[in-house]
Copies of this chain bind each other. A is one copy, B any other.
Amino acid sequence: MKNIYASIITIGDELLIGQVIDTNSAWIAQQLNKIGIAVRNRVAIGDDADEIKNTLNFERKNTEVVLITGGLGPTNDDITKELLCDYFSGKMIVDKGALENVKYLFEKVYNKPVSDINLKQAEVPDVCEVIQNKRGSAPGMIFHKEGTIFISMPGVPYEMMGIMEDVIPYLQQKFQLPVILHKTILTAGIGESALAEIIKDFEDNLPKEIRLAYLPNYGMVRLRLSTSGFNKIKTEQAISEQFLQLKNLVKDYMVVDDDETMQQVLGKMLLRNKKTISTAESCTGGSIASLITSVPGSSAYFEGSIVSYSYEIKETLLGVKKETLEKYGAVSEETVREMLSGLLAKMKTDYGIAVSGIMGPGGGMPDKPVGTVWVAVGSKEKQVAKKFKQRFARAKNIEVTAVMALNLMRTFLMSGE
């Protein structure tokens, strides 16, 4: 039994000028990993015939599967389909299923007449197997060449994901696949190198088939153990033993021993204790609420948020005193504490999070530079306030502040308040 490798090629000029961030290839990599296919590399190239051919030639040397997204649109800048037809020495024919699909989409779903350009979407090279696209008009296509399987899919993420629902069982049936296992710990409150010191001995003694990775982000670090094997039980057992040791070593900093986000962890705690939460946000502008509500089912514990961007709204909706704002400013411990009390009174939730800060690029002051943030969390009975200092650009400052505020709430709950 041998490992099966894949390459992911994403096609489109927009990827090379940076106008679009490629989320497709990360998602595809995740899906392949789950079924035991390792991704050797991911390549983004332009809508350029020679470049696409060279890349196909290069990638098929080292991999059993080449997944391709993009360049299948009906417009002239999309050249992938014609090129694949040529590369695999086929000729274009109309696929009956794809034709029915295009007609159905336009007549029944979009309620628009089908144009000649749309009908072209139903043409495919005669040397491919067609995977029908249930979410759009460009079909998926499977080709074979010298032992490598090539699968071409549209670049629209939602359509590609629909086609992958058929690709996954297809690949599972074609190959005998190992299990690939990852186990992740999310830590907070400690840096990458300090963590490395703590787990140095553990790392030096890891069996060579188990790999450790450090993934720092937002002032948090994820530790991930990875391994693969054809005997599922043995592989599972081997990684679990190491994972238990690792968890024990970093337990003081562990947020969760799973690949979960801060908002998922906090949501589960609230759900478990049947408690509710709300937020009062100034500088984060609704980002904390938006993180909390990104979790399905969050309506069970999230009541709502008051985004108070102006002084007026802080006063009228959250009851922050005019004097407090004048004396201490909007970005102060006093203000966030009053925002929190006002929030809990209005929303009648068990817990609340209040945030005020300066995210930049403007708004900084000598005593309160850009990046200064005050966060208060707590209940009617007890509140905690903490000052943070962010050091990024605006968008990142907002993201980091939102996650840190959630983490402050989490540690407050952990301490049993």
Residues of A participating in the B interface, judged by any CB pair closer than 8 Å: 12-23, 25-31, 33, 38-47, 51, 55, 58, 73-77, 110, 112, 115, 117-118, 135, 156-158, 180, 182, 184, 191-194, 196-197, 203, 211-217, 222, 224, 226, 259, 279, 281, 284-290, 292-294, 296-299, 302-310, 312-313, 316-317, 346-348, 360-363, 391-396, 398
Instruction: Verify B74–A196 contact, CB threshold 8 A.
Output: yes
* Number of identical monomers bound together in the oligomeric complex: 2
Cα(A44)–Cα(B271), bound, Å: 39
Instruction: Verify B317–A310 contact, CB threshold 8 A.
Output: no
> Known: A43-B41, A304-B308. Is A203-B299 also a contact (CB below 8 A)?
no
Report the minimal beta-carbon distance from A271 to chain B, rounded to whole angstroms: 14
Sample of 15 A–B contacts (CB below 8 Å): A14-B215, A18-B26, A18-B29, A19-B184, A20-B26, A40-B51, A41-B55, A73-B192, A75-B192, A75-B203, A118-B193, A158-B391, A285-B290, A297-B362, A305-B305
Cα(A31)–Cα(B272), bound, Å: 47
Report the minimal beta-carbon distance from A162 to chain B, rounded to whole angstroms: 11
CB contacts (< 8 Å) of A216 on chain B: these are 73, 156
Cα(A64)–Cα(B20), bound, Å: 24
Taking a contact as CB atoms closer than 8 A, the residue among B197, B212, B304 that contacts A306 in the complex is B304
Cα(A91)–Cα(B44), bound, Å: 33
> Known: A17-B182, A43-B42, A44-B42. Is A362-B313 also a contact (CB below 8 A)?
no
Taking a contact as CB atoms closer than 8 A, the residue among B38, B40, B299, B312 that contacts A310 in the complex is B299
Instruction: Verify B304–A14 contact, CB threshold 8 A.
Output: no
Instruction: Verify A26–B21 contact, CB threshold 8 A.
Output: yes
Instruction: Verify A309–B317 contact, CB threshold 8 A.
Output: no
Instruction: Verify B27–A18 contact, CB threshold 8 A.
Output: yes
Taking a contact as CB atoms closer than 8 A, the residue among B296, B348, B363, B395 that contacts A362 in the complex is B296
> Known: A215-B14, A299-B309. Is A19-B304 also a contact (CB below 8 A)?
no
Q: What residue of chain B has the Cβ atom nearest to residue A156's Cβ?
A: B216
